[in-house]
Structure 1
Amino acid sequence: MARSSARNLADAAGSGTAEVAGPTPMMAQYIEIKAANPDCLLFYRMGDFYELFFSDAETASRALGIVLTKRGKHGGADIPMCGVPVERADDYLSRLIGLGHRVAVCEQTEDPAEAKRRGPKSVVRREVVRLVTPGTITEDRLLDPGSANLLLAIGRRKVSDAAFAYGLAAIDISTGRFALSEVPGADLAGAIARHDPREIVLSDAIHADPALARLWAETRAAVVPLAQAELEPASAERRLREQYGVATLDGFGTFTRAEIAAAGAALLYVARTQLAARAPLCVPTREEAGTTLAIDAATRANLELTRTLSGERVGSLLDAIDRTVSANGARLLAEHLAGPLTELAAIARRHDAVARLVEDRALRAALRDALARAPDLARALSRTGLGRAGPRDLAAIRDGLDVALALGARLADGTDLPDDLARLAKILARADRDLVETLRASLADELPLNRRDGGYVRVGYHPEIDEARLLGSDSRKVVAALQARYAEETGCRTLRIKHNGLLGYFIEVPQSVGEACLKGLMRDFVHRQTMIDAMRFTSVELGALEQKIFGAADRALALEASVFDDLSARIVAQAEAIGGIAEALAALDVAASHAELAVELDWCRPQVDASMSFVIAEGRHPVVEAALRKSGTAFIANDCDLSGEGRGRIRLITGPNMGGKSTYLRQNALIAVLAQVGAFVPAREARIGRVDRLFSRVGAADDLARGQSTFMVEMVETAAILNQATRHSLVILDEIGRGTATYDGLSIAWACLEHLHEANACRSLFATHFHELTALGQRLARLDNATLKVAEHRDGVVFLHEVVPGVAERSYGLQVARIAGLPSAVVARAGAILKGLEKAERERPSRPRIDDLPLFASLAPPPLPEPAIEADDRLGLLLDAIDPDALTPREAMEALYRLKRERAAG
């Protein structure tokens, strides 16, 4: 909306001036358009450049590293200006979008000649044709081929006085994906982390909720609040119906109010950014609660599923397992890894498909060869639906459908296909062969990037286009042919067809022949001019030819555009079927990728069932093993058994730093993830009872921006685990309690172990340096002790990275310090201090022992009173519990002290 005064115009543009004499017509137009798009950088088209002014220019100059200049004055001050060439605009847009900026693209919508006719000071009409935001881009050059580009909208509904449920609408405009889900408030952060959106849209009420402020501040996505008044439930449902042209949403399934609110917000924002273009979105699919493995944000980060802690893809689990050969497949693999399944039948179907491709090497090779030739069908289809496709997008659809037909036929040749492969084969076989042939016949071999460049319709497909091209590119031959015919008909060999700026094309003959023409030799000749020795004529035919020649290029482009529109319309009419084919190609690529990986690295098919099993034989860490393989080093495989009858077991792991505890913890969590993704796993054998929630707290760092120390971060993450883990969860904990005083930390770790055992009753791996906790193995029925083997060699140690039953005798901290390069004097002094401390401990054994303290009784009914036991009987019981052959020297000493204390107490 235009401002009413010059001062307001200046303020809207961000100039900061107090008063202005009046902007130029062009600047007034800019300010008016900028005022309507205040939250975007305005790319204002001026000839071959997009220009930015005022504060936009200053922002873009800093962000892009381009020169900041000035253009005239406004309000007595210079107007900052910078610009980017139109032909390189995508590169600059990509950088701005990557920094979280939103850009309004303002194009000239009028021919400059038309503007001049309105008056000498008239400005060419311009309009914003599109808003480019991080979550709504569609151009290949702005997108990562292997990653989804999600816009996530969030709605909510109240479920109690103090709790909300949150609806999520995830849209990828570049592919048409549209998914809805609902999560409780406690799972909102994890759901956002799973989707990993580029942009989040939500109501200003949700954005202003103090309980969520930290979440919005910490997310990597751009967050865009919308006015609550625009997001009323009735309008949200109406937008959904209008998007799909239906009278009711019943045919799509049952959605919650929060999901409909989120969907309405997403559609509102998409419509606002795409303006006249209507995004071709798939029918929304609803993800039922509990159908995917719940993984919170901290666990995702700790396990580095799709990116490392530094934000890189290289070094992540996704990078280690990706053997896909198409962009479609790479995106689907990342989606599967972000949301592993919990439905046993679906997991089994994926495993069946992978197993078949593992067994059939020829089929796997044929599929991967064909898929490698398949273009990005989904994104080409989306651009076609939005009216932004180029000739190469049409060719991509042609080639993608051609590959689909070939793969459908190849799969149909197979017998006894698993359910998933048989289903994909049927979908691929539905590709429209007639459409493929039409696209093949109509599109040239060499295609330009943009439709405005022309030349993309194949020669011979459209006679009128061929004629127009001939006139435009070879008009001399056409004119010469007409000249030869006229010369033959008049009998005048000197007849010429010429051209000048005044008359255009004309026929020139000698004076004598001209007189004959006037007397009827060529009755359709019209006299134009008489010269001293020649006469000039025109004809209806020549006039028509002249018009064709002058408009040939424009006519050729217009005719090609008409062909392009017809082809696009045919494609859009089949958008749903083509979208399904794109999904089938992606699913086939992912299955073949898993199979290729399994064969290449000798991975096994896991058994996933409804039990409480967790048995891994010779398991390996997929990422660490990949890194070691490059250096020619073998990975040491280890077993893991957390199986229980109705309740999971806890494995308490002690051992030195650098011994491999964290690797062992992570590898078992990653094996569980891979198994429920539907992949084979790095082990000799694996049986895993379905995991409903996965928690991992392995390592932590200060969060100074939130005022939290390492220990505080550790406690917050541990609290979330203990409060949410169920019997079917898998919990990975490393060094709980190490960030505070020894007794505090030991007490916390002890209590956490008891809570996991008694209350959560889940499968868990718990690594610790508190060796005192190992005594709990005798008191907690489902707790086992394990340690990492170490071999001592002279003054050093060799870490064998082998997990075995038992307890670590010591931490080998001094040896690790020596390996790390601490000065020898420091290591020697530390050794002397350690001996002194150990001596003092032996002489004053006052440190509490686990055997001296009761179990975590608050988690169980109050124990029944025990009969009194005489002192001699107690000593006898303690002696009976001691196995002298199994004690280390230190444990024997501690047992002796315990007996002395018991005797003294009696």
Structure 2
Amino acid sequence: MAEKKMSPMMTQYLDTKKEYPDALLFYRIGDFYEMFFEDAKTASEALDLVLTGKDCGTEERAPMCGIPYHAADSYVARLVAKGFKVAIAEQMEDPKLAKGIVKREVIRVITPGTVTSETVLDEGRNNFLMSIFYDNSGFGISTVDISTGEFLTTLCTSVKEMLDELSRFSPAEIVCNHSFMISGADIEEIKSRYQLVVTELEDSVYKEQTADALLEEHFHSSIEGLGLRDRDLPRLSAAAALRYIYDTQKGQVSHISNIRFYQSSQYMILDASTQRNLELCETMREKKKRGTLLWVLDRTKTAMGARLLRRFLEQPLISEEEILRRQDAVDEFCDHYIDREELAEYLGSIYDLERLLGRISYQSATPRDLIAFKQSLSMLPDIRQLLRQFRAPLVTEIYRDLDELRDLYTLIDSAIEEEPPLSAKDGGVIRSGFHAEADRYKQAGHSGKQWLAELEASEREKTGIKTLRIKYNRIFGYCFEVTNSFREQVPDYFIRKQTLAGAERYTTDRLEELQNTILGAEEKLHTLEYTLFCQVRDTIAENIARIQQSSRNIALLDCMISLSRVATANHYVRPHINTEGIISIRDGRHPVIEKLLTEGSFVTNDTLLNDSGERIAIITGPNMAGKSTYMRQVALIVLMASIGSFVPAREADIGICDRIFTRVGASDDLASGQSTFMVEMNEVAGILRNATTKSLLILDEIGRGTSTFDGLSIAWAVVEYISRVVKAKTLFATHYHELTELEGKLESVNNYCIAVTRHDSDIIFLRKIIPGGADQSYGIDVARLAGVPQPVIDRAKEIAAELEDADITAKTKELSAEHAFLENAAEHVPEIRAGEELRGEHAVIETLTGLDLNRLTPLEAMNVLFELREKLENV
């Protein structure tokens, strides 16, 4: 279609659309937001709207659909939830007064990472926008929640570290430079895994001089003052995030008042698989909160506290000092439970100060938002008064830094009606006594008739004109009407306005004053009240830093009280924190499972892992006997201790871990062409490459997705590699009971199993972890318990009996004997014995083969071991 043929309004629409090609354009026409052409087709399908057409000055009708403007929020929420961007084009002038086409402008672009609507946001979690800048030296990553003002930035040196930050924050949207799109990171995989939108920004956004100027102007500080000097990549990513926010919000974002640089090494790293497998914040199947660790720990009273507690779980600490500070606070609240419950009651009356402040900054706050804000502030003095008696360092800091904001409370209390209307433009917002002129307008609206009657009686008495009346005319307004028979008695200060057939109409200065006050008083009152409301709102916005400081302290206090209340209710204990790599748990319990079971029915278990003789625990036993529950239980207890929480155990001594890895369960990822086994092997490969001696590994049924021999071989090789190379503390559950042969053959490997007893022909799972290995897998017994038909069970037993003499078990015993021989070989091979540093099995293999085993994969190393068999037998 040729644009020149379009109607003027459609030409205006197309010009606006050109500026926002990647957004659905909501174009205000009267009481509707209309969409045209491809936007209309897309929106009608996404929102289930009727698609119509509009004549636009061409031969073809333009596809069109629309929504009522007052219902826009719900429609926008649905579109944003589906990953769309929406540009709102509003009428900027009154259509009745416009000369020609009404002027329209885009007042805001709403994207998944910049949405602020309450109908879209989950109050219990942050909605992050992540900005990534990449060059050959690494990744600058900045993360901002524009609904709360939180702004963080960091530097990553590898794709792995960048993906760790993605897992840490789970942003709703990413903005990036072109180099990131071709950086080697799988962009499509990132979009799919994290369900987010990725937007590439122009290279001009990333010019260093422009970026520095933007940051310094926005934060009113130098680059040095922001802590970003010599941190070029984080600085460029932060400036890009800020530019994108400016471009989409089209208004004030003054509540984004601080930026904090952090090192990713400050926190324990939990990748996406670990967060999913441990069900920290949502269950794997139903994606719900119930049944997660967050569900157990979250007894917060404020939305701010709920978001911060979630962040605790996603970013566990690795600083012993910081963990102990939190523990001290939780401990003291447990000791002062009456005061704690009173504090919790006060916190329950506090609204979401962070997001209220965001709306105040965006100038979208309503009068009712300000009343909610005032009610929240009214709790602060009582909270602070109660905190005076506490001595835990973290609590005393909260007490010291908690600004009661009494001046803002007083301002709102004196200015805003207790029950105002939703809109600030509807009147009834400003309290009487706050502003003299507003009071006069109010009085005029309520008392205008009385004033006129009193003036009429006064003038009648003064002039002696018995027929004098005040009349109203739509053209001349209020006038004194005097019949001709009394015209001679009209005083000099009466001013003639209109002559009638039998009377004259006059005005006076006083009547003019009353008229000006009464006529339009309501309209003037509404205008003035809106102006006064904006002034109050803007005064609050001028105190952003103070409010944010109090908000952060309330959120932290809420988290500490929540952890304390959970500890008391569930009989948790304070864990000892160590840096010696010891994980010792007595009578540990799974924090989630025990809440879902009948009270007292959960079976407790002990755990001992360390960096010496108890590094790897191989756990055997039947499926469904509790191996996975036990391993997750240990990981969750370690994680809980790392956030400062008390833990479900009788005693616990927890070593600080840099990472927790889990390989628990798998599913096909057919969209990317990966089978269950490929997903499993990818996760195992990532764990073996990235784990350190300070990591905790939770590995469940490695190798089960392939043939028995291949699966056993892989599982065996993985345990060897962890023992010799990675040296991480590991819980390794397997149904390959042949792996129990590794105890005593590999350093720090110990066998544990699930206790099982038989009653007649039935097996009973005791859910207890005991030393030793299982001598069989009990698979047929589990199949029978699951209801597999008896003929199948009987036949399976026959086949199992025939296979018992197969050579796989014999092979594993033979292989373990080879390990023993290798360990002793150094005593018999002179060239090995001569070099003290070459002692040990690892050195034997490297000496005899000339290979560097650290450069081999676990399977390659396994093959080398088999090839050495004949050579070693002849030594």
Aligned mate of 1:723, from 686, 689, 692: 689
Distance 1:831 1:488 in 2: 119
Stretch deviating more after TM superposition (139-148 or 345-354): 139-148
TM-score of the pair, normalised by structure 2: 0.91
Distance 1:40 1:778 in 2: 64
Partner of 1:898: none
Residue of structure 2 equivalent to 1:873:
none
| Alignment partner, residue 893 of structure 1 | none
CA distance 1:560–1:792, change in 2 (3 Å): same
Give the residue type in structure 2 aligned to 1:333.
L
1:171-182 to 2 correspondences below 5 Å? 171-182=144-155
Query: Secondary structure, in 3 states, of the residue corresponding to 1:45?
Result: strand
1:523 to 493, 500, 513: 493
SS in 1 for 2:241: helix
Q: Which residue type is aligned with residue 125 of structure 1?
A: K
Question: Does residue 652 of structure 1 match 2:618?
Answer: yes
Per-residue CA distance 1:93-119 (angstroms, 9 max, x = gap): 11111111111111111122321xx3x
Residue in 2 that maps onto 1:602: 571
Amino acid in the other structure paired with 1:359: D
CA-to-partner distance for each residue in 1:635-679, whole Å, 9 max, x for gaps? 11111110234x861111001110011111111111111111111
1:580-631: per-residue Cα shift (whole Å, max 9, x none)? 00000000000000000000111111111211110011111112122214xx
Equivalent position amino acid for 1:733 in 2: L
2:602 to 635, 638, 651: 635
1:304 counterpart SS class: coil
1:712 aligned partner = 678
* Aligned-partner residue type, residue 445 of structure 1: E
Q: CA deviation at 1:381?
A: 1.4
| 2:116 is the alignment partner of 1:149 | no
For residues 412-463 of structure 1, give each alpha carbon's deviation from its aligned partner in whole angstroms, at most 9, with x where no partner exists.
1x15x110000000111x3332222122111111022232223221122222
The verdict on how the C-alpha distance between 1:526 and 1:648 changes in structure 2, with shifts beyond 3 A counting, is farther
SS at match of 1:114: coil
User: What letter corresponds to residue 145 of structure 1 in structure 2?
Assistant: E
Tell me the distance in 2 between the aligned counterparts of 1:484 and 1:607.
88
What are the equivalent positions in structure 2 for 1:501-512 lying under 5 Å apart? 501-512=474-485
SS at match of 2:420: coil
1:702–1:710 contact (8 Å) kept in structure 2: yes
Alignment correspondent of 2:853:
none
The within-5 A match list for 1:90-101 is 90-101=73-84
- Are the structure 2 counterparts of residues 23 and 475 from structure 1 closer, same or farther at C-alpha, using a change threshold of 3 Å? farther
Can you list the C-alpha shifts for 1:311-343, whole angstroms capped at 9, x where unaligned?
333322212211101101001101111100111
Task: Give the alignment of 1:182-193 within 5 angstroms.
Answer: 182-185=155-158, 186-193=160-167
CA contact (8 A) 1:648 1:761 kept: no
| 1:666 aligned onto 2:626 | no
1:763 aligns with 2:729: yes
Match of 2:851 in 1: none
TM-aligned CA distance change 1:604 to 1:369, over 3 Å = same
Q: Does 1:437 align with 2:403?
A: no
Letter in 2 for 1:191: E
The match for 1:487 is 460
CA 1:442–1:80 in 2, change beyond 3 Å: closer, same or farther? same
Give the Cα–Cα distance (whole angstroms) in 2 for the partners of residues 154 and 339 of structure 1: 20
Query: Equivalent residue of 1:603, what SS?
Result: coil
Match for residue 804 of structure 2 among 813, 826, 838: 838
Aligned match for 2:105, one of 127, 136, 142: 127
Q: Where do residues 287-436 of structure 1 align in structure 2 (5 Å cutoff)?
A: 287-310=262-285, 311-412=287-388, 414-415=389-390, 417-428=391-402, 430-436=403-409
1:484, CA displacement in angstroms? 3.4
Q: 1:481 to 1:619 in 2, by over 3 A?
A: farther
> How far apart, in 2, do the equivalents of 1:420 and 1:197 lie?
29
- Distance in 1, Cα, partners of 2:229 & 2:497: 79
Q: How does 1:722-801 map to 2 (within 5 A)?
A: 722-801=688-767
Does structure 1 residue 52 correspond to structure 2 residue 26?
Answer: no
Q: How does 1:62-77 map to 2 (within 5 A)?
A: 62-73=45-56, 75-77=58-60
The residue type equivalent to 1:717 in the other structure is E
Partner of 2:845: none
1:740-786 superposed Cα distances (whole Å, 9 cap, x missing partner): 12221111111111111121111110001111110111212311111
Task: Evaluate the alpha carbon distance shift between residue 845 and residue 286 of structure 1 in structure 2; reply closer, same or farther with a 3 A threshold.
Answer: closer
Shift of 1:261: 1.6
Give the AA of the match of 1:190.
D
Match of 2:20 in 1: 37
Q: 2:283·2:291 contact (CA, 8 Å) conserved in 1?
A: yes
- Asked if 1:259 is matched to 2:237, the reply is no
The answer (yes or no) to whether the contact 1:772–1:849 under 8 Å persists in 2 is no
Could you give the per-residue CA deviations for residues 779-804 of structure 1, whole angstroms, max 9, x where no partner exists?
12311111111222233222221111
**Residue type of the alignment partner of 1:577:** R
* Contact 2:140-2:234 within 8 A present in 1 as well: yes
Deviation of the 1:378 alpha carbon? 1.1
Paired position in structure 2 for 1:236 = 211
How far apart, CA to CA, are the structure 2 residues paired with 1:586 and 1:391?
Answer: 24
Contact 1:167 1:259 in 2 (8 A): yes
Out of 403, 410, 420, the residue aligned to residue 447 of structure 1 is 420
For 2:252, what is the secondary structure of its paired residue? coil
List gaps (5 residues or longer) in structure 1: 1-5, 10-20, 160-164, 868-903
Moved more, 399-408 or 681-690: 399-408
1:150-203 Cα deviation digits (max 9, x unpaired): 1111113433xxxxx222111111111111122232122221011011111111
Cα separation, 2, equivalents of 1:716 and 1:840: 31
Counterpart among 546, 557, 563 of residue 515 in structure 2:
546
What letter is aligned with 1:762? Answer: A
1:83 is aligned to 66
The aligned residue for residue 837 of structure 2 is none
1:851 alignment partner, one of 816, 821, 834:
816
Structure 1 position 278, deviation (Å)? 3.5
1:112 aligns with 2:95: yes
Q: Distance in 1 between matches of 2:117 and 2:487?
A: 61
Relative to structure 1, is the Cα distance of residues 514 and 124 closer, same or farther in structure 2, using a 3 angstrom cutoff? Answer: farther
Asked if 1 retains the 8 angstrom alpha-carbon contact of 2:13 and 2:27, the reply is yes
593-602 vs 571-580, which moves further: 571-580
Q: Is the 8 A contact 1:617 1:638 kept in 2?
A: yes
Aligned residues of 1:381 and 1:393 also touching (Cα < 8 A)? no
TM-score normalised by the chain length of structure 1: 0.88
Q: Does the aligned pair in 2 maintain the 1:526–1:538 contact within 8 Å?
A: yes
Give identity over the alignment, percent. 38
Asked whether the equivalents of residues 591 and 633 of structure 2 are also in contact (C-alpha less than 8 Å), the reply is yes
1:499 aligns with 2:499: no
Residue identity opposite 1:614 in structure 2 = I
Contact 2:493 2:508 in 1 (8 A): no
Partner of 1:470: 443
CA contact (8 A) 1:173 1:279 kept: no
Asked if structure 2 preserves the Cα contact closer than 8 Å seen for 1:178 and 1:281, the reply is yes
Mapped contact 2:496–2:504 kept (Cα < 8 A): no
Residues 612 and 648, structure 1, Cα contact 8 Å, conserved in 2: no
Distance change >3 Å, CA 227–CA 835, structure 1 → 2: same
Q: What root-mean-square deviation, in Å, do the aligned CA atoms of Structure 1 and Structure 2 show? A: 2.5
The one-character-per-residue Cα deviations of 1:3-43 (angstroms, maximum 9, x if unpaired) are xxx62x4xxxxxxxxxxx72222222211111111111111
What is the count of residue pairs matched by the alignment? 831
Letter in 2 for 1:535: E
Conserved? CA contact 1:648–1:762, under 8 Å:
no
Deviation at 1:372, TM superposition (A): 0.4
